[in-house]
Amino acid sequence: MHIDDLKYLRNPAYAYGDWLSVGQTSKGGRFLDNPGDPENWSNSYTQYIAEAAWKSYQIHGGQPAIAGNLARYAEGDVKGQLAHYDHDGNKLIEYDWGALTGNDADAVSFHWKPGNMDRAESAYQYSGALAAAQAYEAMGNTAKATEMRTLATQIKDAIVNVLWNPNRQLFEHRLKSTNEWVPWKEINNYYPFSVGAVPNTATYKQALRLYDDPAQYPVFPFYTANQVDKKAAADAGEPGSNNFSTINSTVQFRLYSSVLRNYPNSWMNATDYKKLLYWNAWAQYVGGNTQWPDANEFWADWNGSSVNYRSWIHHNILGSSNWTVIEDVAGLRPRNDAKVELSPIDIGWSHFTVNNLRYRGADLSIVWDDPADKVVRYPGVPEGYSIYVNGNRVATVGSLVPFTWDPATGDVTTNGSVTHHTAVPGLKAPNQVVQDSPRLVDMFAKAGVDLTADLTNLAAGATVSASHTGSGSNVSGAVDGYPTNEPFWGAGGSANSQDWYELNLGTARTFNEVRLHFKDSRPASTTYRAPSAYDIQYHNGSSWLNVPGQTKGPATPRANYNLVRFPAVSAQRVRVLATNASGAKTGLTEVKIFNRGGLQPPANLATSATASASYTSSWESVTAVNDGIDPPSSDDTVNPRWGTWPETGQQWAELTWPSAKTIDRAEVYFFDDDQGIDMPASWKLQYWNGSAYVDVPGASGYPLAKNQYNTVTFTATNTTRLRVQLTSNGTNSVGLLEAKVYGP
């Protein structure tokens, strides 16, 4: 549900980061709620991350390799869920415990009779398989797409053939031991409708009739359990709990969104959806008081007019409604092609605007102003239902009805009256978008994807070996193409102070870049950590030699992603020689080797220097200035920082190299948190001339800009030390997040 909302932030890093994190830590298999502590809250069968992740890609798009990672994660989740929970191979997950994440003992079906049940939550394996298929199609892998669509069909058929009870005309969980349909139900029984896994026939739509009875499924409170069944369970001595929460309202939004479009019926309508939308907003404010927000994990004891119990666990509101207002009220429907589709649920609003969504590299706005009321709500904006791209109106229909606009031709497909349409060349399908922001480039590099170029990974298909291979690891795990936490190669149990991992490329290849993803097994164990040092070596036919001119980012090895660049070498055999960290061993989740070719970007010399400073606050770190991490903003609250609070006046940070470097350019990223650390009044660069610090010659100027690197060029200078000297504004302290230094 978080991803559903996060995808509508203009920066795709927020939505993409969520599913990347889950995918990278799920061992190539089923997604876990809590991979850091897998013994607690890792019942993972009620999440729809893959489906939501694919929708985020439909909105923002990006290079096909982005879809490739998503496809791999989604496939692993679906197959992993089935492998773990589908004990009889009928393509339905089964289990017997009611601790569904967010529902605890609210589920009622488990209290009918004990034992494993085939479950309706299998719907999420269906939608996950479809997400994987579409992602594979986006990256051009039609064979894998076909495989995942076939699996989706098998799951869909199992849902219909096993869970449909023709006598009660309901989809019901099914007890494995006796083959009985379980009469006690939850909102979970309707997940198959939410994901489109139910054939659109009058027979199957009969199951929706219970939503016409508030004694069974009230719009509010949004309970987990069918309330008639909950009473039956209580009468049988199994009351459980009966809480309600935004976790439940979210899946009810999903149900109405699908049913009102795909399964029209006489029992569920737009008025019900509107009530759900309003009650959902009301519940997140104590007594409906908008000055007292409190989005608790759950609520209980509804007395007909007020919530008598609010959980002590306070949540954010992500996922609770923004996405459904955009997709259902305003009607934006994510698609796989370049077209824009609107399909609104009409809740009687005379006007609304969804303004400046970031949509595949463009700005997209949706405006509705009902012409029927003859009131112009937005002066200068024509009435009707309109799409705007980059501030320009591209399509309008005269009423709030579904329509699809084709940017290539300007054509509008609708049953309504088209009053305006025009073509806008250049609006892209998701896999035609190029994502190149520094933050996304860094994020995906950590997930094994190079957004800057589409190069051949020379490590793919290599014959691999190692000095030692620990239990639970294998040498092939580091060349499977993905730096997920498992599979991996590790030297656990090695008696060596140094261990190596070798790749035989089969023939001599030219390369100038190696990407290493080091294993860190904490907190589960302390076996694996990044090495204290490492070198890339090549075999010259008789012995191993260090590749000359290695520039490592960061200079100190870190968990996961490390980048090594060097002048091109040709070799058939290449290896990583790692010095194991104290008390731990070295492991690799992935190794990639590239020949980037052409003129290489200059190496950042700062990462090989030692940092020092005039003063460093006790909670900050001077090593932050050359750790190689690009800050997201000047107020970086995530990565290490160098700050000098409470000192003011003139302060400096210095880089010292073991041997002289010739330098002619530097980039500086200032720290400014508006809480004592502020932008400097001025700054300059000085170098050590052998006896004193002097200003660098020929400086181009010293810009002062927040939230970006400030670049200075100067006459080429040979030195062992470079100093960034900052002068504070007199009342605040100063600091740096990163400094980069380059040579000619």
Q: Are residues 648 and 558 in the same domain?
A: no
Instruction: Assign residue 131 the CATH number of its domain.
Output: 1.50.10.10
CB proximity list for 640: less than 8 A, separation 6 or greater: 620, 621, 623, 624, 627, 629
H/E run at residue 93: none
Condensed to tens digits (0 to 9), the pLDDT of residues 630-654 reads: 898 999 998 999 999 999 999 999 9
Q: Encode pLDDT of 419-471 as tens digits.
A: 999 999 989 999 999 999 999 999 999 999 999 999 999 999 999 999 999 99
| The residue type at 64 | P
CB 377 within 8 A of CB 369: yes
User: Is pLDDT of 317 > 90?
Assistant: no
Let me know whether 660 and 686 are in one domain: yes
Q: How far is Cα 123 from Cα 136, in angstroms, rounded to an integer? A: 20
Q: What residues have CB less than 8 Å from 150, skipping those under 6 apart?
A: none
The closest alpha carbon to 136, from 434, 477, 341, 431, belongs to 431
**DSSP track, 339-364:** -EEE-------SEEEEEEEEETTEEE
Number of H helices, E strands in the chain: 13, 33
Q: Is residue 329 part of a domain?
A: no
Q: What is the pLDDT of residue 37?
A: 67
- Assess contact for 401 and 385: CB atoms under 8 A: yes
d(CA 537, CA 46): 47
For residue 14, being part of any structural domain is answered with yes
Among residues 247, 115, 133, which one has the least CA distance to residue 182? 115
d(CA 168, CA 188): 17
pLDDT one-digit tens code per residue, 517-527: 999 998 778 89
Which secondary-structure segment (H or E) carries 634?
A: none
Residue 105 has pLDDT above 90, yes or no: no
DSSP assignment string, 96-154: ----BTTTBTT--GGGTS-S-EE-GGGHHHHHHHHHHHHHHHHTT-HHHHHHHHHHHHH
**For residue 30, pLDDT beyond 80:** yes
Q: Do 590 and 609 share a domain, yes or no?
A: no
Averaged pLDDT, 262-277: 98
Span 580-584, average pLDDT? 97
Considering only CA atoms, which of 174, 171, 204, 214 is closest in space to residue 190? 171
Beta carbons of 251 and 191 less than 8 angstroms apart: yes
Predicted local distance difference test score (pLDDT) of residue 522: 83
Q: Is residue 436 part of a domain?
A: no
Mean pLDDT along residues 716-720: 96
φ, ψ for residue 299, nearest 5 deg: -130, 165
Task: Judge if 349 and 316 occupy the same domain.
Answer: no
Q: What is the CATH number of the domain that holds 531?
A: 2.60.120.260
- Residue 446 covered by a domain: no
Report residue 148 as tokens. Answer: 């995942």
594, 614, 647: which is the final residue of a domain? 594
Whether the predicted pLDDT of 362 surpasses 90:
yes
Q: How far apart are CA 100 and CA 46, in angstroms?
A: 7
Tell me: the pLDDT tens digits for 212-224? 999 999 999 999 9
Q: What is the pLDDT of residue 600?
A: 66
- Strand pairing partners for 364? 357, 389
Domain shared by 319 and 343, yes or no: no
Q: Are 28 and 155 part of one and the same domain?
A: yes
What contacts 522, CB < 8 A, 6 or more positions away?
529
| Mean pLDDT, all residues of the chain | 95
Task: Tell whether the model's pLDDT for residue 490 goes beyond 80.
Answer: yes
pLDDT at 12: 97
Q: Which residue has the tokens 């957004």?
A: 451
Q: Quick check: is 530 in a domain?
A: yes
User: What is the per-residue pLDDT for 217?
Assistant: 98
Residue 345 lies in a domain: yes
For residue 703, the Cα-to-chain-centroid distance in whole angstroms is: 34
331 falls within a domain: no
Asked whether the beta carbons of 611 and 723 are under 8 A apart, the reply is no
Proportion of the chain above pLDDT 70, given as a percent: 97
- Residue 304: how many CA atoms within 13 Å on its side-chain side? 0
499 CB-near residues (< 8 Å, 6+ apart): 466, 467, 468, 491, 577, 578, 580, 585, 586
Give the pLDDT band of residue 36 (cuts 50, 70, 90). low
Distances (CA, A) of 99 to 44, 49, 85: 10, 19, 15
Question: What is the torsional sign of CA 208, 211, 212, 216?
Answer: positive
Q: Where residue 597 falls among pLDDT bands split at 50, 70, 90?
A: confident
257 and 342: one domain?
A: no
Note down the domain range covering 369: 337-428
Tens-digit pLDDT profile for residues 161-220: 999 999 999 999 999 999 999 999 999 999 999 999 999 999 999 999 999 999 999 999
Cβ pair 208, 201 in contact under 8 A: no
What residue type is assigned to position 250 of the chain? T
The whole-number pLDDT of residue 80 equals 96
600, part of any domain = no
SS3 sequence of 152-175: HHHHHHHHHHHHEECCCCEECCEE
Task: Specify the residue for token string 């980037």.
Answer: 596
pLDDT > 90 fraction of the chain, expressed in percent and rounded: 90
Cβ burial, residue 261 (10 Å; 0-12/13-18/19+) = middle
Q: pLDDT digit string (tens) for 602-617?
A: 778 998 899 999 999 9
- Give the side-chain half-sphere CA count within 13 A for 675: 6
Q: Is residue 527 classed as helix, strand or coil in its secondary structure?
A: coil
Q: Give pLDDT, residue 523.
A: 79
Alpha carbon distance 141, 70 (integer Å): 13
- Relative to beta strand 117-118, strand 174-175 is antiparallel
3-29 pLDDT, tens digit per residue, is 999 999 999 999 999 999 999 999 999
- The pLDDT of residue 556 is above 80: yes
Decide which of 551 and 256 is more confident.
Answer: 256
Residues 380, 469, single domain; the answer is no
Q: Same structural domain for residues 27 and 104? A: yes
For 202, counting Cβ atoms within 10 Å of its Cβ (0-12 exposed, 13-18 middle, 19+ buried), the class is exposed
Distance CA 193, CA 190 (A): 5
674-684 average pLDDT score: 95
Domain count, the chain: 4
179 and 279 housed in the same domain: yes
**pLDDT score recorded for residue 329:** 98
Question: Residues 714, 697: contact at Cβ < 8 Å?
Answer: yes
pLDDT at 598: 67
Distance of CA 349 to the CA centre of its chain: 33
Q: Look at the alpha carbons of 565, 569, 575, 578 in this order and tell me if their dihedral is positive or negative.
A: negative
pLDDT score for 39: 63
pLDDT band at 570; cut points 50, 70, 90: very high
Give the number of other Cβ atoms within 10 Å of residue 595's Cβ. Answer: 16
The sign of the torsion formed by the CA atoms of 138, 140, 141, 143 equals positive
Regarding whether 623 and 590 lie in a shared domain, the answer is no
- Answer whether residue 319 shows pLDDT above 80: no
CA distances from 73 to 28, 50, 128, 140, 727 (A): 6, 8, 10, 16, 49
Residue 713 has pLDDT above 70, yes or no: yes
For residue 405, the cross-strand partners are 340, 412
Q: Are 738 and 625 a contacting pair, CB within 8 Å?
A: yes
Q: Are residues 411 and 519 in the same domain?
A: no
Instruction: Round the CA-based radius of gyration of the chain to a whole number and report it.
Output: 29
